[in-house]
A and B are shown apart, each in its own frame.
Chain A
Amino acid sequence: MSQNRVSFWAGVRAEFPLLIAVFPFGMIYGVLALNAGLSPLAAQAMSAIVFAGSSQFITAKLVHDQVPGLVIALTIAVVNLRHMLYSASLAPHLGSVSMRWKALLAYLLTDEAYAVAINEYDRNGVTPSSHWYLFGAGLALWSTWQVSTLIGILLGATLPSNWPLDFALPLTFIALVIPALKDRPAVAAALSAGIIALAAYGLPYKLGLILAAMVGIALGTFLEGRK
């Protein structure tokens, strides 16, 4: 039992530096979700139901633009595709835990929880209590995300409505995308997607966004394959 507890707290501790970055991100989401016209309850519920940062930002924006629900759901699916990779990467380390644990850990599987868990498993291997490590990291992130969303919602209700708060969305995405531009295929993926998004801006239901993303992903993958 106590080994489980040690593993749990080690996961929480490893997650801590990431929480400092996630906290303002959650607050900005809360502010933007209200700004986009979501009710406080819906804004908070999305942090529990979807529980995936960038896709929540995008959903708030698309809801604001009155895009049909099916297109929004499709966009969420594309943006969150990477979780399948995390799932595949962690699967061999979670082979021996019960189905109940798998169901719980899958819910808590985010970029940030994955990052610290895979680092731990690669370094120290798998022990009978190592799923508690992922549980600790995931739960720490989950709690932080819920609380920071709530603070953002409370804050958002008090900010003057003439501030250009919606501009925080492209700014946040710029901050996320720049570090990802590590090589030519990544730059090509980004630029082609951006240009297609402009060219296809007039398409109905914001389908230009999905089209642009698909072209960018395809071009990046093609260029990477040729190397």
Chain B
Amino acid sequence: MSAVVVLGAGMHPWGKWGRPFVEYGVAAARAALRDAGVAWTDVQYVVGADTIRNGYPGFVSGATYAQALGWTGARIASCYAACASGAQAVDIARTRILAGLCDVALVVGADSTPKGFFKPVGGDRHDDPDWLRFRLLGAANPAYFGLYARRRMALYGSTSDDFAAVKVKNALAGSLNPMARYRARVTAEEVLASPMVADPLRLMDICATSDGGAAVVLASEAYARRLGATAPVRLAAVSTVTPTFPNAVLELPNFATDSCAAVPAPERPFRAAIAHAAYEEAGLGPEDVSFAEVYDLSTALELDWVEDVGLCPPGEADKLLRAGETALGGRVPVNPSGGLASFGEAIPAQAIAQLCELTNQLRGAAGARQVPGARVGLAVNQGLFGHGSAIVATT
């Protein structure tokens, strides 16, 4: 299979800017196009990762960005898969390139978020589990993160100190990233003194909601060669898998797991399956990974992911963390960008931002947070309602 390459990557800094999401998306798109050396008018295909909290333009974001950049007659797509929207958008563009239907595509995701907890889209919607979990249980997103964290403590003996150490590590990396929202280093004492939000998780254990935008320009190898790009970063795999029945983990926004009474649970739980599918497609394994961007919606969840993607056996992520192996300068840095701990979540932009970090690292252009000799980068993420998201990129 011929490869699809990342010709350009661009971002609008994360923050709480309070401006329309289109501005962030267009800024990121222009940055990615400049980085690629591709004119907007040469882009043949545009994919937008949608946002659901910004009215109709958010639901048709491919068209919204194309119009804002100036109609050129390019073909478009828009897609939504919650936190996995960006990976789906990347996958749609790359499969179109692989099919030979276009040579160069622009993928954009951006969000403008309200303050505080994410809440469901308005209206009385008694048939929508996302509405019902708030109405009946008051189960906001951090409640699910709290359940996973407490479960981890019970299974593996993780402690609040371990969780705080994740935040300290990611804040240090984020302090070196000009695109991150939170640039201050923090101490474990500060994390442990922050207010409890969803026991056992405190405010500084949980990712914020942010504004931000990210974009990539993808192209066929032949197009990249014609453009004179030397050794562009290659997309080795994109995994957008769904769970396998019965899913025995209580997933956002569900009230219950599937039942394992009639059919036994699959050998590989969902989060592990997301990474596994990407490894299979890339013909690589966890031992090949130079660094990983994982979806640290909470500090505790980063530890789960480290195990799920195979960087260590279940229950040993805390040990890896404590040995400094997942920090910048360690054997396999995790979240060298600073992760969600430093960015906060701009939902449709986040998986694309992960790919931007993969690209910068694999180019050797990540500055003070560069992972020396990075050859293979993995990004993983999960969108609610059963959306897997993993990308493997290589030099």
- Whether A associates with B in a native complex is no
